[in-house]
Structure formats: C-alpha cells, structure tokens
C-alpha cells in the first residue's frame, strides 16, 4: 500500500526537470491524458471544468463587448485556403486533409480548419452588402487541427479548442480599436480569472499572423523562463477583404472593402495556468477558475463519526447555497492525510478541516493552498469570512505571479552580455533593436530567443546600439525563449 508521502514522490520536482514536473501535474491532477491518436489529448472532466470556467468568463466579456457566437464548418475547400498566399504558406506544413468521403475520392481536398478566416471571409462576402450591415461582430468556439510532430498536453497538440473572433468594419480606425479592445479583454480575463499577469504588446513583422497587418499579443512569463503567447488579436486591414472580395456600398454610395480583425485564445491557457501557479505539491488554482474552490475534509474517529459528518454536510449545504463550488470528501478508506495531499495536488484553493475539537469550539480550520497558511474561522461567520478569504487568495496569487514576472524582466544593452544571458533562460530581456527582420532572424539563430513583442507604443531606443548588429537601435524589444 502506498503511503501519504508517495503522492509528492510521484511528481518530479520543478527544479529537477520542469517539463517532467508539468506532465506529472497535468496527468496526476487528472486534467488531461494522451489520446491513442498521436498528437492528440483527452481533456478529462477536472481539466475540462477549468476550461469551462475560463471559457464562460471570456464568453461573457465577448458578448458584453457586442459580439455574438456562431458556428462555421470544420472542413474548408482547398481552393478557399489557397486564395490567400501568405495565409496558405503560413499554415501549409500543419494542415490536415480529407481526401475521401466514404469510398469515393473527393474532387477537391478539404482542409481540417487550422483557423477559419478562409471560410468565414467567404460567407462575409455574401452577407455584407451595405454599410448598414456593418460592423459584423462574430465569435466562434470550436476545435482546430494543426498537425504537430511533438505533443505537449495543452501546450502543443494536433487538435485543440479555442475561440476565434472575426469582425468586419467600415474604417481602419474601427478595426484597430476592435483589435486592441479584444487584447484588453484577454488581458482582463487572464488577470482577473486566471491570476496570470501578461504583457500586452505588438508582434514584429516576422512574428505576426500570416496575412495580418498588425498582430497584438498577450505574453506571459512561465517559471522556467520561457514566454508563452497566451492570446493574439490581429488587425487584418483590408487584406483578406480584397482576397475574398468582401465589398459593401459605403455611405457615399461607392463600393468599398471592409476592414477586418480576428482574435483567439486556446486551451493552451490551461497549460499556462498549471505552470504559472503550480509547485512541487502539484497544481495551485486561483478560486475563480477552480472546479472546487473549497474542499471539506472531515477528521473522523469512530465514536464521533456521525456528528462530524452531519455538521460537514450542513457546512456543505450552506456554502453551496452561497454559490461556492464546494466538495465534501467523505470517502471511507482514506486517511485525512491522504486526502489533504490529493486535494493539494489537484490545486483546490481552500481546504476545510473539521473534527471533534472544531465541533467543540464551533469553528473550522481553513488551510490555503497558495500559502499553506492555517486559520480557524468561526462557523457562525463562515460564509462571509470564507468569501473574503477566497477573494484574498485570488488577489495574492496574481500578486505573486506579477512579482515573478517583474523580477525576471531585465534590461540589457550590451551585445556580449545579451548573448551570454541567453545561454540560460533568463526570462524576458528588454534590449535595443534596429527593427531589421534579418537582424532579428540572426539573433534567433544565435540565442534561440525571439522578439516576443514591442510595447503597444514602442519605446524609443534612440542613442542605443542594436544588440543584434551593433547598428543604431530604433526601439526596445522584449526577447525570450518561447513555448
């Protein structure tokens, strides 16, 4: 029989092997597992509930900002994809194809959508006739397929879930405003729901979405010093409109092309959540996206069992009534210590321990997952104090992650030091850059790091020399190795 300590032994230490730690946590906490199909994952109920909580919070904001949900087909005719050269070139190596239906070979191959611009633009070209039809503000929750050679649960899988927003506007300004607004929405959900701090920035020409005029990004720093692109929002300009012929009669009675945006986040956010907050005991969930915010573990002795369980059920019902996501772990055959470890591994933000002594005192012992602090709370004030405690955990977790990000963002101006620093994984490095794409590519070869973003208002680096080529620098760029 395994002992309580085995739980922790089953998870590799973060410092020993971060990748192994990540996989251990994802699998032992029952978030996801490898599917029998290469490159694919199964999202298990606990992991899927986290996704639902994040998805619902984001969906609320998507709707509150004037968008509606719709659904487009999974299959895209090859000719649609090929209309846009950059687009098809950008995705070609990762596209999966359907070549037969039943026993019949198809006349035209169908792509499994790697993204839906092509099919949505085709529909918009039919739907949009006049300026009165604008703006079109549609979002889709869907799965997409991008063939991957390496599988990393949540982070890199051939099939994943996401949302993709696709909007069409009368003016460039409106499209720009929309792209930036959705970047703010992503940033807000990351912070307020997932307690993940992110940098809002703009991608370089080299790193932007194929076919976009401008790509905005929210980038979060992971504890292994790599950056993770948590969401992107693209100002597509009139590029796709011209390719797919999305025209409308404007206010001057002239045919004009619409201006478009697209924006998306994926289930990879769950990977970020695991990495940003987890520790050697396992997962650590912020209350707002925890399937169970509170778990009650009864401390049971034979003689007092029924009284304790009765009171635990009362607490359960009271908290449920107050809208708390709460679970009572009344399983027989497991010691309280075993249960403590299991719920720590699964990241439940708050544990309530309740035994005969607590019953006597009329209180319950709370144990925070994030700080492991213990604190008794009187039962007659449970709802209020628990609500406050959960709010505090949410705030403290964001603060801790923010501190980490700030502490691991450094400014370097010297080329030699820049190269040396990226021999390791220094986090995010702010350095002067000349804005040449060739120079950017060379730096990636030299260091394995890429420019993750420039600030939304790029900061002038006048007077500095580019860390790549030594020429006069134009802007400060933010470099990191990335997921």
Give residues in contact with Zn ion (CB under 5 A): 434, 439, 466, 468-469
Cα Rg of the chain (Å, integer):
25
Nearer residue to Zn ion within complex by CB, 185 or 461? 461
- Whole-angstrom distance, CA of residue 200 vs CA of residue 240: 25
Residues 6+ apart with CB under 8 A from 112: 74, 75, 76, 95, 96, 97, 98, 144, 145
Q: What residue ranges in 52-156 does DSSP mark as E strands?
A: 68-69, 75-77, 96-101, 104-112, 136-145
Nearer residue to Zn ion within complex by CB, 10 or 464? 464
Assess contact for 10 and 28: CB atoms under 8 A.
yes
DSSP letter at 414?
Answer: -
Nearer residue to Zn ion within complex by CB, 200 or 435? 435
Nearer residue to Zn ion within complex by CB, 12 or 469? 469
Alpha-helix residue ranges (DSSP H) falling in 107-219: 117-127, 172-192
Nearer residue to Zn ion within complex by CB, 469 or 482? 469
Min CB(101)–Zn ion separation in Å: 51
DSSP letter at 199?
Answer: E
Nearer residue to Zn ion within complex by CB, 110 or 466? 466
- Whole-angstrom distance, CA of residue 136 vs CA of residue 387: 40
Assess contact for 217 and 451: CB atoms under 8 A.
no
Residues 6+ apart with CB under 8 A from 264: 115, 162, 163, 164, 165, 231, 232
- Phi and psi at residue 294, to the nearest 5°: -135, 135
Min CB(440)–Zn ion separation in Å: 7
Nearer residue to Zn ion within complex by CB, 379 or 434? 434
Neighbours of 253 (CB within 10 A): 8
Nearer residue to Zn ion within complex by CB, 186 or 418? 418
Nearer residue to Zn ion within complex by CB, 400 or 469? 469
Sign of CA dihedral 321, 327, 333, 339: negative
Beta bridge partners of 227: 221, 482
Tell me the CB-side half-sphere exposure of residue 273, using CA atoms within 13 A. Answer: 32
Give, to the nearest 10 degrees, the angle between helix 268-277 and helix 45-64: 110
Min CB(425)–Zn ion separation in Å: 22
Token pair for residue 267? Answer: 């289930």
- Whole-angstrom distance, CA of residue 325 vs CA of residue 113: 36
Min CB(201)–Zn ion separation in Å: 19
Min CB(458)–Zn ion separation in Å: 15
Task: Using alpha carbons only, give the angle 355, 356, 357 rounded to the nearest 5 degrees.
Answer: 95
Nearer residue to Zn ion within complex by CB, 350 or 443? 443
Min CB(442)–Zn ion separation in Å: 8
């Amino acid at each position: 029989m395994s002992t309580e300590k085995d739980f922790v032994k089953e998870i590799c230490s973060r410092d020993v092997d971060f990748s192994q730690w990540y996989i251990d946590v994802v699998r032992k906490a029952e978030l996801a597992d490898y599917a029998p199909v290469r490159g694919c994952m199964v999202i298990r109920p606990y992991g899927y509930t986290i996704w639902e909580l994040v998805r619902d919070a984001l969906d609320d904001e998507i709707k509150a900002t004037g968008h509606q949900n719709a659904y487009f087909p999974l299959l895209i005719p090859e000719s649609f994809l090929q209309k846009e050269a950059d687009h098809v070139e950008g995705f070609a190596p990762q596209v999966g194809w359907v070549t037969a239906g039943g026993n019949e070979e198809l006349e035209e191959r169908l792509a499994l959508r790697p993204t839906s611009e092509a099919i949505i633009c085709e529909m918009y070209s039919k739907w949009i006739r006049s300026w009165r039809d604008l703006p079109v503000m549609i979002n889709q929750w869907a799965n997409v397929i991008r063939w991957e050679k390496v599988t990393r649960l949540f982070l890199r899988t051939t099939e994943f879930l996401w949302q993709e927003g696709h909007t069409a506007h009368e003016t460039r300004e409106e499209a720009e405003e929309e792209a930036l607004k959705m970047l703010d929405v992503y940033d807000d959900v990351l912070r307020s729901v997932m307690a993940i701090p992110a940098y809002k920035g703009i991608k370089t020409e080299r790193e932007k979405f194929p076919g976009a005029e401008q790509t905005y990004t929210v980038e979060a720093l992971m504890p292994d010093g790599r950056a993770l692109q948590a969401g992107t929002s693209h100002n597509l300009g009139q590029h796709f409109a011209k390719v797919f012929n999305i025209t409308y009669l404007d206010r001057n009675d002239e045919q004009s092309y619409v201006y478009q945006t697209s924006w998306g986040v994926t289930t990879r956010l769950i990977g970020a959540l695991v990495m940003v907050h987890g520790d050697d005991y396992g997962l650590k969930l912020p209350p707002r996206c925890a399937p169970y915010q509170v778990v009650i573990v009864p401390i049971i002795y034979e003689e007092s069992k029924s009284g304790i369980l009765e009171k635990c059920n009362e607490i359960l019902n009271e908290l449920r009534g107050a809208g708390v996501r709460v679970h009572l772990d009344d399983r027989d055959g497991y010691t309280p210590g075993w249960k403590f470890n299991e719920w720590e591994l699964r990241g439940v933000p708050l544990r309530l321990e309740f035994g005969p002594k607590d019953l006597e005192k009329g209180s319950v012992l709370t144990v925070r997952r994030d700080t492991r602090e213990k604190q008794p709370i009187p039962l007659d004030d449970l709802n209020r104090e628990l609500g406050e405690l959960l709010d505090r955990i949410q705030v403290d977790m964001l603060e801790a992650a923010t501190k980490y990000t700030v502490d691991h963002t450094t400014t370097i101006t010297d080329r030699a030091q820049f190269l040396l620093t990226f021999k390791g994984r220094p986090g995010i490095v702010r350095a002067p850059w000349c804005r040449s794409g060739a120079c950017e590519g060379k730096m990636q070869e030299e260091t394995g790091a890429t420019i993750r973003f420039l600030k939304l208002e790029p900061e002038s680096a006048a007077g500095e020399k580019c860390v790549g080529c030594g020429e006069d620098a134009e802007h400060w760029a933010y470099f990191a190795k990335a997921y």
